[in-house]
Amino acid sequence: MDEGEADVVASFDACPFAQCLALRIRSVEAGVVEVEMDPACALNRDGAVHGGAIFALADHAFGAAANLAGEEVALAAEIVYLRPATGRLVARAVRTGETEAVSLYRVEVRQGDRLVAVFSGHGFRLDRRALSP
């Protein structure tokens, strides 16, 4: 991890929202970001991890991955929930496409080997050079 990537990781790990939900970046390798969450404070009334917390975990992984090479903001995001989760979760964000100004990320959320949700995030690069002809 280079110095710029380390700064992105530190800023995402220090985010008050991430701390509130116990989100922590556990690895960054070749642009792929993994974020883990201990969901003890994010359970719904049935004892499963709240869907909003799963979305937040996936969105956090997407945001960190998208900001590794420059500043990006989210344009759109969607999630498909496949099964309930009750324990520690890991979200893995991978860039699957890009243009000069827009990126697309796929994030898989897993509890162990079980696929819990799939998230798609679309990012917009704020770097003005990306918008130049």
**Domain region containing 121:** 3-131
User: Which run of H or E residues covers position 101?
Assistant: none
Question: How many whole angstroms separate alpha carbon 68 and alpha carbon 10?
Answer: 12
| Distances, alpha carbon 8 to alpha carbons 16, 24, 30, 33, 58, in Å | 15, 12, 14, 11, 16
**Average pLDDT, rounded, for the chain:** 93
Neighbours of 67 (CB within 10 A): 22
Count up the domains in the chain and report the number: 1
Task: Give the CATH number for residue 22.
Answer: 3.10.129.10
pTM of the full predicted structure?
0.92
Q: What is the pLDDT of residues 92-127, one digit of tens each?
A: 999 999 998 999 999 999 999 999 999 999 999 996
**pLDDT at residue 71 greater than cutoff 80:** yes
Where would I find the H helices in 29-119? 51-66
| Residue 102 token pair | 């827009």
